[in-house]
Homo-oligomer: A and B are copies of this chain.
Amino acid sequence: MGFDKEKIIRDFPILNREIKPGKRLVYLDSTATSQKPEVVIEAMNDYYRLYNANIHRGVHTLAEEATAMYEQSRVKVQKFINARSHKEIVFTRNATEAINLVAFTWGRQNLDAGDVVVLTEMEHHSNLVPWQMLAAEKNLRLEFIPVTENGELDLLELPALLNLKPKLFCFTHMSNVLGTINPAKELISNAHKAGAVVLVDGAQSVPHFAVDVVDLDADFYVFSAHKMLGPTGIGVLYGKENLLNNMPPFLGGGDMIKKVQLRTFKPNDLPHKFEAGTPAIAEAIGLGAAVDYLAAIGMDHVLAHEKELTAYGLEKIAPLEHLKIFGKDITNKGGVIAFEMDIAHPHDVAQILDMQGVAVRAGHHCAMPLHEKFHIPATTRASFYIYNTKEDIDKLVEGLQIVIDMFG
């Protein structure tokens, strides 16, 4: 369908919401979670109203329809990120669980005392804490690519870190605070040369630009549906088939088994081996609809639209007094602008913006170490997606002017 701005806005019922009398919602918090188009909501309603059933083991019509739709969503996701096989797509609750799954299975199996894991200083807590927990259990050594003053990975440090022969390298494809889009392909290729397995946190990339896991040659790639127009309650772990095949199962229970006796079990084939219990069926179907919607627009259009908004936003916000943009000059920046104001705390900024109907996020954005590094406890963050417009940014700037008038 291409990028039809007006149609897109009509597709999101929530954008009609009045936040305060006369103040329509201006949603600038898509990095936390995106809004959902009506087609995604309706895909799940259809499941619940027309063919709700448990999957995989049922012979009756509803069960067969539900199974087919669930598995079709898997194939849609596979195609969307260009994976080689549907067996490489494991449904999890969210990106966080996907990372933990790798830590609990591949990590426990392959990492031993003294092994080095390389991360970066710009990681989201979800790509830090699982490795800290594993490091504590196994006595691993965690090392970090620093972030430059500018807000980019300091790649000059990379060779030294790779020289430590890390077994694993985990990094975010795009920072959820700075907006930095990291050079994933180059990072992966260097890490592979050093012998590391690579996990990419794609929570902020898959929603916003085209991702090809084969071209990137990522070993593991994770993301969440709720940030890409899909429902809450479902995320994705992509893993290369041979890696997934050699990993032990994660959670035990129904569906992940082939055969069970009282004291032993035989795990199921991929991808079911990693999906224990009744999965998020409606949610998988919703994610399938979200993928269809994004694919119809075209991820290149999505990215172009966000780049345009980001450029416009930076231009409009930069001149404001008392305001400093976090990561302003990043070369390759996605649709995220975080900033501090020396006169007002981010919570106050966010609340005053909310009174204008403008929804932004304030806090550490689950990236405390990054904030600590720059000695800022919290920032205010505005982020953009397909349904945002330049008028939204104008509203943001008006709101910031009110903050300045009040606290300045």
> Contact: B53 with A129, CB < 8 Å?
no
A139 within 8 A of B: no
CA distance A128 to B260 in the complex (A): 9
Q: Answer whether A41 and B32 are a contact pair too, CB < 8 Å, given A135-B263, A232-B283, A233-B93.
A: no
Q: Are B359's CB and A61's CB within 8 A?
A: yes
State which of A178-186, A251-259, A317-325, A328-336 sits at the interface with chain B: A251-259
Q: Which A positions have Cβ atoms within 8 angstroms of B?
A: 13-14, 17, 19-20, 25, 27, 29, 32-33, 35-36, 40-41, 44-45, 48-54, 57-63, 93-97, 99-100, 103-104, 121, 124-133, 135, 142, 144, 224, 226, 231-235, 249, 251-257, 259-265, 276-283, 347, 350-351, 353-354, 358-363, 365-366, 368-369, 372
Minimum Cβ distance to chain B for residue A379 (Å): 12
User: Complex: how many Å from CA A135 to CA B279?
Assistant: 25
Complex contact B265–A129 (CB within 8 A): yes
Q: Cα distance A131–B53 when bound, in Å?
A: 28
List the 8 closest pairs (A to B, CB-CB), nearest first.
A96-B277, A129-B252, A233-B280, A233-B233, A126-B253, A96-B253, A60-B359, A32-B54
Closest B residue to A352 using CB positions: B59
Q: Report the minimum CB–CB distance from A344 to chain B (whole Å).
A: 13
By beta carbon, the residue of chain B nearest A33 is B54
- Mostly helix, strand, loop or mixed at chain A's interface? mixed
| Residues B254 and A130 in contact, CB atoms below 8 Å apart | no
Would A19 and B277 be within 8 Å (CB), given that A251-B100, A368-B261 are in contact? no
Contact of A129 among B19, B32, B234, B256 (CB under 8 A): B256
Partner of A57, one of B127, B281, B361: B361
Cβ of A59: which chain B residues have Cβ within 8 Å of it?
347, 350-351, 354, 361-362
Q: In the complex, what distance in Å separates the CA atom of A354 from the CA atom of B351?
A: 56
Q: A19-B61, A263-B142 are in contact. Are A252 and B41 (CB under 8 A)?
A: no
Question: By the criterion CB–CB under 8 Å, are B63 and A359 in contact?
Answer: yes
> Which residues of B are found within 8 Å of A20, using beta-carbon distances?
61
A282-B100 in contact (CB<8A):
no
Chain B positions within 8 Å of A19 at CB level: 60-62
Q: Return chain B residues, CB-CB under 8 Å to A232.
A: 233, 278-283
Q: Which of B33, B347, B363, B368 contacts A259 (CB 8 A)?
A: B368
Beyond A59-B347, A263-B142, A278-B232, is A251–B45 a contact (Cβ under 8 Å)?
Answer: no
Q: Is the CB of A35 within 8 A of B52?
A: yes
